[in-house]
Amino acid sequence: MERCCSVVVRQLRLQRTAFGCVTRRAYLLLIRFVQECVVMIFSPKKSSICVVDPRPADYDAVVARAVGEDAEVVFAGSAREALRLRPEAPEMWVVNCELPDLSGLELLDMLRGRFPQTPVCMVSDEYRPEDELAARSRGASMYLCKPLVAEWLLEPRMSVCH
């Protein structure tokens, strides 16, 4: 990263001497901006999964596997807590269909409005075809039933998210 940054800065210096029309202050601001951009591009970003479920113990296997993959799992027990918790989009949302304050489908609608590109996986305690159809018609990326297997969420995450 430092090598890339120094190459860019060197090129900027060559441009400044060649054209001579950039003020020193603008030149220094431009160098600082380029350095910050390079740091942002090359800094490893920890992926995150936000789970909205009143029973976080149901996700022990997912958490254990995610920690091994250097992913962060954030829990919220209700829809309101989830919306307060994450101002930015995680890599994936995992939402239980039955939440204490709203239905999972209502939260799905809100998430689609706020984070249209972020995958949302709906989870149900028991399979009901009408729930799966409703979730998929409202934009859910996946519909899973408990008990969850970590691979169901973590392996397809790359293909669903990218």
DSSP H or E stretch at residue 1 = none
For the purposes of burial, counting CB atoms within 10 Å of the CB of 140, is it exposed (0-12), middle (13-18) or buried (19 or more)?
buried
- For 31-50, how does the pLDDT look when each residue is reduced to its tens digit (9 = 90+)? 666 666 555 555 555 678 88
CA 146 distance to own-chain centroid: 23
pLDDT band at 160 (very low <50, low <70, confident <90, very high): very low
Whole-angstrom CA distances from 39 to 29, 46, 150 are 15, 15, 32
pLDDT at 115: 87
CB atoms within 10 A of CB 101: 13
Give the mean pLDDT of 125-153.
87
Q: Is residue 19 predicted with pLDDT exceeding 80?
A: no
